[in-house]
Structure formats: C-alpha cells, structure tokens
Structure 1
Amino acid sequence: MHHDIRKHASNITHAYSLEVSSKDIAALSAAAPRILTGSTIAIPYLPRENDDARLAAARAVRRLGFEPMPHLSARRIASLAGFELFVQRAAAEAGVERCFVIAGDPSIPMGPFTDSAALIDTGIFERAGMKVIGVGGHPEGHPVMSTAEQWEVLERKCHNIEMRGMTPLIVTQFAFDADIVLTWLEALRAHGINHPVRVGVPGPASIAVLARYAAVCGVGACASMWSKYGVSIGKLFGTAGPDLFVDRLAAGLTAAHGEVSLHFFPFGGIVQSAKWIEQYRARTDPGL
C-alpha cells in the first residue's frame, strides 16, 4: 500500500463509530476489548422499543467506556414533553452529549414533529447540554428530496445546530461504491459545508445479508457496484468485507475532503466488524 494511502487509511480508522441496537448490547460487551475506548456507539431508534429500553442501552454503552449517540426519529416521537424527558434523562443517566436526528419512516407523524429540523428547533438539545448533533448524509441521493433541496436542507440544519452552540456531525448512509462517496464529499465541501463526516461502511457480512440490507435501505447494488466492492456478480455467496471500499476511499481522499472518518454498520455481527477494524488498522498503521 502506497505511503499516502496508508496515511489516509490510518487516519479514517483512527476514530470510528459503530451502529449497535439495544438488542445487541451483549454482543457489544463481548467485542468491547477490541473496540477503541471512547468510540462513538450509535443506538438506532427502533419502533418496537420504548424509551426505557433505549436509555438502558445508552447507560450500558457508557459503562463499557464508549460514547453513546442515541438516534431520535422525529415522526415516531409522540409529544414535546416526552422528547424533552428522554433527552434530559439521556444526559443525566448516561452522560449523553451527542444525538443523531432523523425524520423517520412513518408518512404521518405520531406527534408534533415532521422532520429532524423540528427537533433541533425546540432548543431542547442545547438546554440539556448536548455538544454534537448528527444529521444524515445521502451520497446516492435522498429518497424524496431533489439534489438542490437536499443540499439546502442539510446546510440549514448544520447552520441551526452551530447557531445553538453545538457541533454538527454528518453521518452518511452506507454505500458500495467509494467513488460515489468521494464525489459527494467534493460536492458537500463545494457547498461550503465543512463539518466532520462519518462515512457509512458495511462491516463484513454474507453477501446475501448485504444485499438484503441494501434493498431495505435503498442503497444501490448493481453489478458494477458489487464489482467495485470486490464481489463477482457470478459468486453471490460467501462473505465480503469492506477492504476494497475503504482502500479506494483512502486512496481518493485529500485535504480538500475535510475531516472524514468511518461509521460501521455491523451487519455480519459486532465482533466480526471489530476484528476487521483491528486487522485493517494493523495493516495500515505502521505505529501499531
């Protein structure tokens, strides 16, 4: 691996985050010795869970020595009071200082919030002492917004977060084509959005599982993308890791792309993702 590529590969895996649902906390505990202390653990907002389960997961993440980042799904939140109580309890009980906001899937909101911007606008996050607010990025385009609208909304949200004294963090959907992600990063910076980005990466998993998640999440998985990811279209069995994707991303990154790190979706299991990160870091970081 070329020296500059090794440097970028080492940089983007120096700090990383993992997506871990509350039902996978036991697996996170098992993998904890392999995961860098202080890593951010994003906790998805699952529709069949209540706030107590989400808070228990955040407390467990904190106890394990990691930084919990609960997701908040705007359209699934039933009331302003319930939202405020959750954020206050997350801060008090689990030392939460960062949250990730999304609109959520329901077409009709369960309460007063139609999108993630409405959650930011309440002022509840900064009043509870939140320092970082994560928002979604979509390298392959947004399912319902035009490209122009997508940039405008992202820019407005980031500006609002900053004006409220917090730091915006952009976390992208996972992808299989690193070139698409690099092009999107260039466009992001060209729009004057210079906040840190965590690029979504699928952890090692069976190709069948990767294909299923791609279909559910609306991620492109055509033959050319599979090929760039290192999967032969004639061999859709076995497992695949993100080696080629991360290598290609690292090779394409320059200072102009700004601060970029990785956010892992451990579709094939948390231990498997933690092992992969450990091995990749050993391969690319001469200091390890």
Structure 2
Amino acid sequence: MMSTETNEPVTHSTEPVLLSKREALARALRNASYEILPFKKTEAAVLEHVPQDVALTVTTTEAKGLGPTVDLAVRLSRHGYTAAPHLAARLVRDDAHLADLVAQVREAGIRSVFVIGGDAGEPAGPFPDALSLLRRLDEIGHPFETVGVGGYPEGHGHISDELIEKALVQKAPHATQVITQLCFDADTTVRWARGIAARGVALPVRVGIPGAVSRQKLVRITAGIGLGQSARFLKKQQNMFWRFFLPGGYSPNKLIRRLTPSFADPQSNLAGFHVFTFNELEKTQTWRKEWLARLEEA
C-alpha cells in the first residue's frame, strides 16, 4: 500500500476516525513535513535542528538545477531522514538524464519524490510539465512509494484556474498526495480541497504553511536563488511578502487555528501540514515544539 508520507502506521479501516480539535491539530503538527532549500549550510542545519521523524522535501531552483537538489536529498537520506527531492520536469534534459536521477535516488534508498513542472522559461527536454514527467516515470517503472504533486488553492500565476485544476485531475492517478502552495486564507484552502475531492481527486492534501521565518531571511533567500528566479518567486509570492513585511512580521498561528476544524472533520481530505521553512530550521522546529507542548498541556 502506498504511503502518504506521514509518521503514523498505515491502517486499513475505512471507518472515519473522530478526533477532538486539539487531537487533530496535534496530529497534523506531529506529522508535519518541512520544505528546505539546497544551500551550502542546509545539511548541517538539518542535522542540528531537525529530528529524523520529520519528513523533508528539497526544492529545486532554475539557477542551480536538479543536481544540488538530488545530492542533498541523497546525503540526508543516508543520515536517516526521509528526504524527497523536487523533480522539476522542465529541467530534465532527456530520458537518460531522468534514468540517472532515478538511479541516484534509488541507490540511496529514497522512496519519495515531489514532481513539479518548474519555472524554467523553456523546457530543457521533452517534459514541459509535471504530468508528462509523471507519465514517463510510470512507464519506466519508478521505485517511489510516495509521489507528491502541487496544489494551488489561489490559482497559478501563469495558468488559468480551469487548466490547473484539469491538470490536477490528470496527475492524481500517478500520485499519492497533494502539497499545496502557500495560501493565507483558511476558508479558501478548505473550499479548494473540497472542490478537488468533488472532482474525483481522492488524494490526501498536505497544507502548505510558512514556518517561523524572519523578513531578513526572506530577503537573503531571494537574493541567493538568482535574479531571474527571484523575480518569478517574488511575483508568485507577493501576497506572502506583503504579509511578512507588516509591522511585527507574520505569524502562521491564526491560519493554523482556522484550519483546525477541518483537520478534525472525519470527512476532510486535509492530512497534515507542509511547512515552508525557507531554511529557518531552528526557529521553525522550536515553534512547532512549543505548539505541541501547549496542546499536550491543554
């Protein structure tokens, strides 16, 4: 049975599990995954601050290509982490390149990937989008038990809502979970998740939320990923930046509280949090531990 990349045993019961809001939120936070960027100091920061029971995804940037992403995922996997590389379809040059990437991660024992289209202006090879790469992975017989694809509760900056939702329906048979982009409105996320379920996408949804990120860190991150990539990142995340640069910065706590009732709903397809850490790993881990401690004391 395919894993949904949580840290709890897979059960085979089809009966909905009734949880209190506190229990549901605690489970979502315990099973949170962290998204990290493949920078020079990332490996050391993960080893110092992130426990091995936290699943990781490693992003890809157009400026650095797929190499650093796969290399970091391989190294972290050998340290005992569940580390899923982002495979950006538009950066895969050809079948030989894809076979090499799959061989590297298979050798390291990696069983999870996150397949995206990527932001490159022109595809480097025959894979213009995530769907084409997912289909090819199935054709060559990939080893992955967990395959994540992206979800867009607030739409996509360059693709119409109709096309992006149609693409998700087409990608769903090739995937095991959906990870959403950042959305700061809980009602929007919940409506979107119910909408894709109504269209037949039965995959569990991991809700993308920001970690405990400082505005200074965001400035450094965008400066470090390359001018063109930064411009696209800023354009796509301008709502996030506006919120982070408010007086006092931004805290995800209100968003988490507003999402809690849906996590407690046994009919909900919300399965956990996916935390965009922007490599603020110490602060993010401390923030998550403090939340869990408060919930245990309640």
TM score, norm. by length of structure 1: 0.82
Number of aligned residues: 267
Q: Which moved more, 1:139-148 or 1:188-197?
A: 139-148
Q: Which residue of 2 aligns with 1:221?
A: 239
Q: Unmatched 5+ residue regions in structure 2?
A: 1-18, 223-229
Cα distance in 1 between the residues matched to 2:63 and 2:121: 17
Q: Which residue of 1 aligns with 2:179?
A: 171
Cα distance in 2 between the residues matched to 1:208 and 1:4: 37
TM-fit CA distance, 1:74: 0.9
Residue pair 2:66, 2:91 contacting (<8 A) in 1 also:
no
1:247 corresponds to 2:263: no
Q: Which moved more, 1:55-64 or 1:242-251?
A: 55-64
Cα distance in 2 between the residues matched to 1:218 and 1:51: 21
Q: Which residue of 2 aligns with 1:9?
A: 25
TM score, norm. by length of structure 2: 0.80
Relative to structure 1, the CA distance from residue 45 to residue 199 in structure 2 (aligned partners, 3 Å threshold; closer, same or farther) is: same
Instruction: Give the secondary structure class of the aligned counterpart of 2:179.
Output: strand
Instruction: Give the secondary structure class of the aligned counterpart of 1:136.
Output: strand
Q: Which residue of 1 aligns with 2:145?
A: 131
TM-fit CA distance, 1:86: 0.7
Relative to structure 1, the CA distance from residue 74 to residue 222 in structure 2 (aligned partners, 3 Å threshold; closer, same or farther) is: closer
Counterpart AA for 2:254: L
Identity of aligned residues (%): 25
Counterpart AA for 2:259: L
2:203 to 195, 199, 207: 195
Cα distance in 2 between the residues matched to 1:52 and 1:209: 24
Residue pair 1:175, 1:219 contacting (<8 A) in 2 also:
no
TM-fit CA distance, 1:202: 0.4
TM-fit CA distance, 1:96: 1.0
Residue pair 2:194, 2:269 contacting (<8 A) in 1 also:
no
1:56 to 46, 55, 71: 71
Instruction: Give the secondary structure class of the aligned counterpart of 2:169.
Output: helix
TM-fit CA distance, 1:135: 0.6
Cα distance in 1 between the residues matched to 2:66 and 2:181: 24
Q: Which residue of 2 aligns with 1:164?
A: none
| Backbone CA RMSD of aligned residues | 2.8
Residue pair 1:151, 1:191 contacting (<8 A) in 2 also:
no
Cα distance in 2 between the residues matched to 1:275 and 1:119: 37
TM-fit CA distance, 1:242: 1.2
TM-fit CA distance, 1:125: 7.6
Cα distance in 2 between the residues matched to 1:203 and 1:185: 21
